[in-house]
Amino acid sequence: MELLSGGEMIARALEDEGVEYIFGYPGGAVLHIYDALFKSNKVPHILVRHEQAATHAADGYARATGKPGVVLVTSGPGATNAVTGIATAYMDSIPMVVLSGQVQSHLIGEDAFQETDMVGISRPIVKHSFQVRKAEDLPATIKKAFHIAASGRPGPVVVDIPKDITRPDEKFEYHYPESVKIRSYSPAQRGHTGQIKKAARMLLGAKRPVIYAGGGVIQGEGSDLLVELAQQLNYPVTNTLMGLGAYPGSDRQFLGMLGMHGFYEANMAMHHSDVILAVGARFDDRVTNTVSKFCPGAKIVHIDVDPASISKTVAADIPIVGPVTSVLRELIDQVSAHQEKDAELPDAAALGRWWDQIEEWRASHGLWTGRRYAESESIMPQQVIESLYRATNGDAYVTSDVGQHQMFAAQYYKFDKPRRWINSGGLGTMGFGLPAAMGVKLAFPDIDVACVTGEGSIQMNIQELSTCTQYNTPFKIINLRNNYLGMVKQWQDMQYEGRYAMSTYEDSLPDFMKLVESFGHVGIEVRKLEDLDAAMEEAFAMKDKLVFVDVFIDPMEHVYPMHIAPNGSMKDMWLSKNERT
């Protein structure tokens, strides 16, 4: 067996784990680890400009690849800077392993230089955490961290490492375990067959069914099975913001996103349904609107690997705890078995009427009737996303920040594949998009990657343009430039009589063209609609350049539909500034 120091064991364990990239930032407490990484030189390390960006980049990498993102930060400020990114990953159930340096063991608790209780600070926003006490425990602990992060309901795991156990002069026998068994941790492997049988019967008995699929289908690699089930039954499908791409966005059976800014037909179908199959979705308050008024006529089948997601806000009639893949496989088999016995299932006439109704909703109010194009002289944000869609043949990885631009991207870029849409839904973290795009582009250098952002959000991690230069990540930034914190402004328009408290920057915005050029990137400004498509084409034609496309859009546009709250149901929506359901 080999003898390695603590620091070397960490470098080696990451290598043995098959880690492709480490995103991090050095500092005193992790210098032994950095030296070991430098000497072994096996796992590439991306030096960000702020630790928050390291976590978002690792997160973007994880969302795009399905593999845990890996972060390495120093103690104290390095660790606290990582907190927002850890919380972001936690809320969206993203696998991530964060190695944080800690002061030497004998100094812990003494308010030592750069000491912070990282295990304590991160406790409510991690799936689990470890503080490693002995160097010998490092390999097994790292193995456990990866296992916990990626299995069951994925999530971030923090491994806090006191500096002294990484010192180079003490060597230990290194052995990286092939597998781990943790007696207190065993996520569900399959659903309850009896429940799945009941679910199959309920689904086939439906007259007005909807499949409501979320991020769990993407995280759990269940998209193919979801498509198989939906198409076998010819049932309509809606996705949450996190689930976009789980079902192909351009398919006829797809109703679009549901929820607060969901499609009219998706929200109407949910409200009027008699059976809802919820898969890997967690009945978030941005989806349900007022819970007591949620889908009054619907029976609910809920599949989720995390029992705590089931009946948390909306009670399930048939709860099924298990991973999407095995449960959907079994459910499809059960449905097929029933259909073999009874070819009349489901009720074709009822389903036909249901589709007629849905098509009527789709035609009457669909998302975009084209009216607002005509009304405005400026470029509409929706048109920018449509242009992006065309320029990338609908096949790009699209990361996003948070705000109106995020909702427009979600509504207008029809994601046909899982993992293509990468955004912070649960925490809603502005500053996510740019570093996330770095992680995605590193994972998929040959595929188009776009970061849809706003001039507010982009400034929250704009320093990463420098990282992009260092590692050459030629993705495209599409800035929907409305010169406002647009989403805030929209609420102020709707609820505060247009008092724009702190949602404008006055004349303080930087010259983005000069800014990006100073980092060695390319800037393109678009002020007229007729230049939009050409600019977009030009940007994506520059394969080896990061291009910042600054599109000046109509600042007064709002995102619609929008749920009417408080006390509204799913069907209660604003459809424009002056129309409502």
Ligand X SMILES: Cc1cc2nc3c(=O)[nH]c(=O)nc-3n(C[C@H](O)[C@H](O)[C@H](O)COP(=O)(O)OP(=O)(O)OC[C@H]3O[C@@H](n4cnc5c(N)ncnc54)[C@H](O)[C@@H]3O)c2cc1C
17 binds ligand X per the rule CB under 6 A: no
- Please tell me whether residue 242 binds ligand X under the rule CB under 6 A: yes
Selected from 138, 480, 536, 549, the binder of ligand TPP by CB under 6 A is: 480
Answer yes or no: are the C-beta atoms of 289 and 260 closer than 8 Å. Answer: yes
Decide if 163 is catalytic: yes
The entry of ligand X, other proteins, Mg ion, none near residue 60 (CB within 5 to 8 angstroms by kind) is none
Residue 38 has φ and ψ, to the nearest 5°, of -60, -45
Q: Residues in the chain, how many?
A: 581
Stretch that binds ligand TPP, among 302-310, 334-342, 481-489, 514-522 (CB under 6 A): 481-489
Site string for ligand X, 124-163 (x = CB under 6 A): -----------------------------x----------
- Determine, following the binding rule CB under 6 A, whether residue 532 of this chain makes contact with ligand TPP: no
In whole angstroms, give the CA distance from residue 526 to residue 513. Answer: 11
Residue 411 bears catalytic tag: no
Q: Which of 16, 17, 265, 304 binds ligand X (CB under 6 A)?
A: 304
Q: Of 574, 573, 567, 570, nearest to 273 (Cα)?
A: 570
Q: Is 114 a catalytic residue?
A: yes
Residue 163 makes CB contacts below 8 A (sequence gap 6+) with 28, 29, 30, 31, 32, 75, 101, 102, 103, 104
CA distances from 69 to 89, 99, 246, 348 (A): 10, 11, 21, 46
266: its two tokens: 């998706």
User: x/- binding map, residues 445-474, to ligand TPP, per CB under 6 A?
Assistant: ---------xxxx-----------------
Query: Among the options 91, 242, 487, 536, which is catalytic?
Result: 487
Minimum gap (Å) between residue 478 Cβ and Mg ion: 12
Both tokens assigned to 388:
């992006």
User: Which listed residue (144, 163, 441, 571) is catalytic?
Assistant: 163
- Spell out the long-range contacts of 305-311 with Cβ–Cβ below 8 A and sequence spacing 24 or more: 305/152, 305/153, 305/187, 305/188, 305/216, 305/220, 305/280, 306/152, 306/153, 307/188, 309/153, 309/282, 309/283
334 is an interface residue for ligand TPP by CB under 6 A: no
305 touches ligand X (CB under 6 A): yes
d(CA 538, CA 315): 51
Token pair 């010192």 is at which residue? 167
488 binds, among Mg ion, ligand TPP, ligand X, none (CB under 5 to 8 A by kind): ligand TPP
Please count the residues of this chain forming the interface with ligand TPP, following the rule CB under 6 A.
20
Count of C-beta atoms within a 10 Å radius of residue 102:
30
Q: Which SS3 state, helix, strand or coil, does residue 332 take?
A: helix
Q: Does 11 bind ligand TPP (CB under 6 A)?
A: no
Q: Is 443 in the site for ligand X (CB under 6 A)?
A: no
Subset of 378-407 contacting ligand TPP (CB under 6 A): 401-405
Return the number of the residue (27 or 486) whose C-beta is nearest ligand TPP. Answer: 486
* CA 38 vs CA 12, 34, 43, 170, 475: distances in Å: 12, 6, 9, 18, 28
3-state secondary structure of 364: helix
Please say which residue, 75 or 459, places its beta carbon nearer to ligand TPP: 459
Residue closer to Mg ion (CB basis): 256 or 433: 433
Q: For ligand TPP, which stretch binds (CB under 6 A), given 90-98, 283-291, 477-485, 564-572? A: 477-485
Choice among 113, 134, 470, 517 that is catalytic: 113
Q: Report the residue number, 239 or 503, with the smaller CB distance to ligand TPP.
A: 503
Q: Does 561 bind ligand X (CB under 6 A)?
A: no
| Interface residues toward other proteins, by CB under 8 A | 119-120, 123-124, 127-129, 131, 148, 182-185, 306-308, 311-312, 315
Interaction residues for Mg ion, span 23-42 (CB under 5 A): none
- Give me the least distance between CB of 484 and ligand TPP, in Å please: 5
Phi, psi at residue 90, to the nearest 5°? -60, -45
Residues contacting residue 28 through CB under 8 Å, at least 6 positions apart? 74, 75, 101, 113, 114, 163
Range 463-522, binding Mg ion (CB under 5 A): 482, 486
Among 15, 306, 347, 531, contact with ligand X (rule: CB under 6 A): 306
SS (H, E, C) 270-324: HHHCCEEEEECCCCCHHHHCCHHHCCCCCEEEEEECCHHHCCCCCCCCEEEECCH
CA–CA distance, 298 with 272 (Å, rounded to integer): 8
Nearest approach, Cβ of residue 15 and ligand X (Å): 27
* 127: its two tokens: 């799936």
> Binding partner of residue 307 among Mg ion, other proteins, ligand X, none, CB under 5 to 8 Å per kind?
other proteins
By the rule CB under 6 A, 442 interacts with ligand TPP: no
Helix or strand (DSSP H, E) at 255: strand 254-257
- Closest distance of CB 551 from ligand X, Å: 20
Per CB under 6 A, does 259 bind ligand X?
Answer: yes
User: Could you give the residue numbers annotated as active site?
Assistant: 51, 113-114, 163, 487
Residues that bind ligand TPP (CB under 6 A): 401-405, 428-431, 454-457, 480, 482, 484-488
Which stretches of the chain bind ligand X, using CB under 6 A? 92-93, 153, 214-216, 219-220, 240-243, 257-262, 280-282, 284, 286-287, 304-306, 309, 323-324, 402, 406, 425-426, 428, 487
